[in-house]
Amino acid sequence: MQGKAVEELTEDEARAELARLAGAIAAANRDYHTRDAPEISDADYDGLKQRNAAIEARFPGLKRADSPSEQVGAALAEGFARVRHAVRMLSLENAFAPEDVADFDDRVRKYLGLGPEAPLLFTAEPKIDGLSLNLRYVAGRLVQAATRGDGEEGENVTENARTIADIPQHLTDGPEVLEVRGEVYMSHADFAALNARQIAAGEKPFANPRNAAAGSLRQLDATITRARPLRFFAYAWGELSAPLADTQMGAIERFAALGFPTNPLTRLCDGPEALMAIYREIEAKRATLGYDIDGVVYKVNDLALQQRLGFRSTTPRWAIAHKFPAELAWTRLEAIDIQVGRTGALSPVARLLPVTVGGVVVSNATLHNEDYIAGRDAKGNPIRGGKDIRVGDWVQVYRAGDVIPKVADVDVSRRSPDAQPYVFPHVCPECGSAAIREEGDSVRRCTGGLVCPAQAVERLKHFVSRAAFDIDGLGAKQVEAFFADTVLPIREPADIFTLAERDAANSLQKLKNRDGWGDRSATNLFAAIEARRVIPLNRLIFALGIRHVGEAAAGLLATHYGNWAAFERAMTAATVGEGPEWEDLLAIDGVGAVLATSAITAFHQAAERASIDRLVAHLTVEEVAPRGPVESPVAGKTVVFTGTLERMTRAEAKARAEALGAKVAGSVSAKTDLVVAGPGAGSKAKAAAALGVEVIDEDAWLHLIGDA
Ligand code: IVH
């Protein structure tokens, strides 16, 4: 289903796919924002977000409560104080093709009720590839600097920001309260010098300038930040006690006058053609700028129009980021290795002759699955013109800024005459069990389950991971060592909770006397494990590593069942495809047949079930309370707009109402709570009167929602 075209998904598949995407996007957000260690490329990330948006557009009713299109960033790193942003820090919608730029212009015009000939100006400026920062000045003094975090709350990095020379500490002019937003970044030259120092000091070099900037700004010790050459460009603002200007360009000029660096390539454009011309100009300069940019940002210039356009849940309607295409390079494919994942998926990995792609040396890349290697998509249609990929081939590697690159293309004209088509294994390379492909699955999976050491160890890694049990001192490396250990082994999650007891009983060699362990680290590990004997239900469900049950889905199951006993009882009693427990499971908004089948199966598979039971015997599982609704005077109400609205377009009214938690319907029925009627309202106002539904005018509506 993962590879299936959005138009072809059934409703159940779409629901399961949205759940999968929510999990994958949440994981990618965590890797990127909290760990500064992205595992997928920006292009792949954008691909996940786009697919999610396309499915939501086709099935609006399936949109999840935790939809990724409603979220900006990710969880915060521990160690910094949290700061609630006075004005949310949002992200930008992406555009990739010239048509997307024309669409953007169209949408803005339509929303504002402007004809195609009405003048409409935009600014265009480089999209800096760094991390955003909010700088708060009160009476001209820098009082706080905060990262974006999840958009609502960021990390307080004030002391670190004070060490950045580009950021003024005092302003001699400007509003009493002024929040300047912009990007912290590192130049190519400074990045190269920093990495040379890292290597000389025996430290790990940074993957790219953005990771170096993020890692440097988010240092608990500001003296380290001071030693790192960070730069800043101002391009936006948060809370203001007085307006900065009437236009975006005016605001940027104001920033420059106040002493902030602003990007010299910022231009004013009168429409999509001019925007495309600037895009090409900036793209041509990209390689010589001396810092990383990953696209061009377009913004409506008139701030009164920006105000009217407002926001969707996480992105403004008045701006868009036009991304550059990914970077490419050709190299030789030396081998194809198969890795076995937690759910048994066999993933082919390309081992490459090392090559530099966009400044980073690449020696591994993903080949996705066997169809991809064979040159066809999940439906059997040719991709890359049907060209297969063989060991020894020259392949094009693709990287959009980050780790795990992909193989995009193959040059068959350079293929050796004795190159053989790649034969994808039908047995698991780790345990020798049959590896099978289920109908409709693009992935071949090992059937060994817990018998397969690769699956067992990957499951354990998942079990101790951050969003699951998050056990300090028990990371992926230690899990591998304990898994292979003969004296004090950990083969399944329950073994973690008997570790201290087994260590104490073993008179031969205690953990504290072993390589890599001391008295302190062993004691700390046992204490960290002890602390996790009490675990929230959602974390436990996620930790079980059931296929299709990601963090978001685990949260849905936990809030629905509330406690472990109820969840376990329901899964045990349930039958796939029928019965009250099955119906009840599918009634959860965001749970589809695929997820439900997988959860039930996990509890009905004898070995797996026994392993779950052994684990839970060691735990106290905390209950999870159901989620509360959005607070606003119209939250949960069904509203109908009718007649001519004079102070806003229909789209604007609908978006505003939905943002406040209301449901906007097209016709009046007994379920309608409120009708907002403008001049010329006809049958709908009459229907409302007949049903006794309250009817108010536009001014009363604006008053009600606090916009009057
Ligand atoms: S405007 C409400 N302008 O891109 C939108 N953002 O994907 C405010 N970024 O979080 C952002 N250069 O970190 C804007 N010239 C620019 C930018 C820019 C880089 C980053 C920023 C933002 C992200 C959105």
Q: Do 130 and 57 form a contact (C-beta atoms < 8 A)? A: no
Q: Do 1 and 13 form a contact (C-beta atoms < 8 A)? A: yes
Q: What is the DSSP string of 526-571?
A: HHHHHHTTEEEHHHHHHHTT-TT--HHHHHHHHHHH-SHHHHHHHH
Q: Which is nearest to 593 in space by CA: 8, 61, 9, 4?
A: 9
pLDDT attached to residue 633: 85
Does ligand 1 have an atom closer than 6 angstroms to the CB of 292?
A: no
| β pairing state of 534-536 and 663-665 | unpaired
Expressed in percent and rounded to 5, the helix, strand and coil fractions of the chain are 40, 20, 40
**Residue with the nearest Cα to atom 10 of ligand 1?**
91
Give residue 81 CA to ligand 1 midpoint distance, Å: 23
Give residue 269 CA to ligand 1 midpoint distance, Å: 18
Element (H, E) at 369: none
**pLDDT classification of 590: cutoffs 50, 70, 90:** confident
pLDDT attached to residue 529: 97
Residue 582 has pLDDT above 70, yes or no: yes
**Residue with the nearest Cα to atom 18 of ligand 1?**
127
**pLDDT classification of 229: cutoffs 50, 70, 90:** very high
Active site residues: 127
Q: What is the CATH code of the structural domain delimited by 448-532?
A: 1.10.150.20
Q: 58-77 b/e with 16+ CB inside 10 Å = b? A: ebeebbbebbbbebbbbbbb
**Residue with the nearest Cα to atom 12 of ligand 1?**
127
The span from the CA of 146 to the CA of 159, in Å, is 10
The number of the ligand 1 atom at minimal distance from the alpha carbon of 89 is 2
Residue 630 has pLDDT above 70, yes or no: no
Does ligand 1 have an atom closer than 6 angstroms to the CB of 125?
A: yes
Top mutation candidate among 71, 96, 128 for ligand 1, by most atoms within 8 Å of CB: 128
Q: pLDDT tens, 464-483?
A: 998 899 999 999 999 999 99
> CATH for 94-323, among 3.40.430.10, 3.30.470.30, 3.40.50.300, 3.30.300.30?
3.30.470.30
* Superfamily grouping for domain 6-71: Helix hairpin bin (1.10.287.610)
**pLDDT classification of 76: cutoffs 50, 70, 90:** very low
As a whole number, the mean pLDDT across the chain is 90
Lowest mean pLDDT, pick from 84-88, 307-311, 550-554? 550-554
Q: Which long-range contacts (CB under 8 A, 24 or more apart) does 280-288 make?
A: 282/124, 282/126, 283/324, 286/324
Q: pLDDT tens, 137-182?
A: 999 999 999 999 888 999 999 999 999 999 999 999 999 999 999 9
Read off the tokens for 564. 């472990």
Residue 636 has pLDDT above 70, yes or no: yes
Top mutation candidate among 50, 92, 311 for ligand 1, by most atoms within 8 Å of CB: 92
Residue 699 has pLDDT above 60, yes or no: yes
The span from the CA of 110 to the CA of 126, in Å, is 26
Average pLDDT over residues 606-620: 95
| β pairing state of 122-128 and 327-340 | unpaired
Does ligand 1 have an atom closer than 6 angstroms to the CB of 319?
A: yes
The number of the ligand 1 atom at minimal distance from the alpha carbon of 125 is 15
Q: Do 610 and 450 form a contact (C-beta atoms < 8 A)? A: no
Q: Would you put residue 706 in left (φ > 0), alpha (ψ -120 to 50) or beta?
A: left
Q: 517-542 b/e with 16+ CB inside 10 Å = b? A: beeeebeebbebbeebeebebbbbbb
Give residue 177 CA to ligand 1 midpoint distance, Å: 21
Residue 401 has pLDDT above 50, yes or no: no
Burial class (CB in 10 A: 0-12, 13-18, 19+), 508: exposed
pLDDT attached to residue 515: 86
Does ligand 1 have an atom closer than 6 angstroms to the CB of 320?
A: no
Question: Residue for token digits 């990739």?
Answer: 96
**Residue with the nearest Cα to atom 1 of ligand 1?**
236
Q: Do 48 and 38 form a contact (C-beta atoms < 8 A)? A: no
* Cβ-based neighbour number of residue 641 at 10 Å: 22
Q: Do 556 and 591 form a contact (C-beta atoms < 8 A)? A: yes
pLDDT attached to residue 70: 74
Q: Name which residue leads in pLDDT, 202 or 410.
A: 410
Does ligand 1 have an atom closer than 6 angstroms to the CB of 132?
A: yes
**Residue with the nearest Cα to atom 17 of ligand 1?**
127
DSSP 279: H
Q: Do 282 and 265 form a contact (C-beta atoms < 8 A)? A: yes
Counting every residue written for the chain, the total comes to: 708
**Residue with the nearest Cα to atom 23 of ligand 1?**
91
Give residue 454 CA to ligand 1 midpoint distance, Å: 41
Q: Do 401 and 41 form a contact (C-beta atoms < 8 A)? A: yes
Q: Which is nearest to 566 in space by CA: 583, 586, 581?
A: 581
Give residue 308 CA to ligand 1 midpoint distance, Å: 20
Does ligand 1 have an atom closer than 6 angstroms to the CB of 316?
A: yes
Average pLDDT over residues 361-366: 88
Average pLDDT over residues 369-393: 93
Give residue 155 CA to ligand 1 midpoint distance, Å: 18
Element (H, E) at 408: strand 406-411
Q: Positive or negative CA dihedral for 690, 693, 699, 701?
A: negative
Give residue 103 CA to ligand 1 midpoint distance, Å: 20
Q: Which is nearest to 339 in space by CA: 430, 408, 407?
A: 430
Does ligand 1 have an atom closer than 6 angstroms to the CB of 90?
A: yes
Average pLDDT over residues 268-286: 95
* Superfamily grouping for domain 536-622: 5' to 3' exonuclease, C-terminal subdomain (1.10.150.20)
pTM of the model: 0.55
What is 328-436's CATH topology? OB fold (Dihydrolipoamide Acetyltransferase, E2P) (2.40.50)
* Cβ-based neighbour number of residue 339 at 10 Å: 14
Break the chain into its structural domains and give their ranges: 6-71, 94-323, 328-436, 448-532, 536-622, 638-705
**pLDDT classification of 73: cutoffs 50, 70, 90:** low
**pLDDT classification of 394: cutoffs 50, 70, 90:** very high
**Residue with the nearest Cα to atom 21 of ligand 1?**
132
Asked if domains 448-532 and 536-622 share a fold, the reply is: yes
**pLDDT classification of 509: cutoffs 50, 70, 90:** confident
The number of the ligand 1 atom at minimal distance from the alpha carbon of 299 is 1
Percent share of the chain, pLDDT over 70: 96
pLDDT attached to residue 532: 97
Q: pLDDT tens, 595-604?
A: 999 999 999 9
Residue 294 main-chain phi, psi, to 5 deg:
-125, 15
Does ligand 1 have an atom closer than 6 angstroms to the CB of 128?
A: yes
**pLDDT classification of 75: cutoffs 50, 70, 90:** very low
Q: Is 638-705 assigned to CATH 3.40.50.10190?
A: yes
What crossing angle do the helices spanning 593-604 and 606-616 adopt, rounded to 10°? 80
| C-alpha torsion angle, residues 308, 314, 317, 323 (rounded to 10) | 150
Residue 296 has pLDDT above 70, yes or no: yes
Lowest mean pLDDT, pick from 233-247, 625-639, 656-670? 625-639
Give residue 321 CA to ligand 1 midpoint distance, Å: 8
Element (H, E) at 303: helix 303-309
* Cβ-based neighbour number of residue 325 at 10 Å: 12
Read off the tokens for 28. 């990618």
